[in-house]
Amino acid sequence: MPVNREIRVFSSHESAKAADISEWAAMSKEERLRIGSELHAFWVRNYFPDVTRLDRTVQVIQRAPG
């Protein structure tokens, strides 16, 4: 299933952000991962065709409780 490529016009940045958040929240983890993978493949193919894999970045974070 390809990424939905449509143009939407919003009256404010706040309404655009709210629409983005609700759209991502409605997706399953698998859908978000698939879209991220498609975007990464597009980025590599078009901007860095010689890169063969993802760079590894390791960072330890401490999340707030709750």
User: Over 60: is that where the pLDDT of 1 sits?
Assistant: no
* pTM, entire model: 0.55
In this predicted structure, what is the pLDDT of residue 59?
78
User: Over 80: is that where the pLDDT of 4 sits?
Assistant: no
In this predicted structure, what is the pLDDT of residue 3?
63
Q: List, for residues 13-65, the tens digit of each pLDDT value.
A: 999 999 999 999 999 999 999 988 888 888 888 888 787 766 677 777 888 88
Residues 6+ apart with CB under 8 A from 32: 24
Torsion-angle region of 63 (φ positive above 0: left; ψ -120 to 50: alpha; else: beta)? beta
In this predicted structure, what is the pLDDT of residue 19?
93
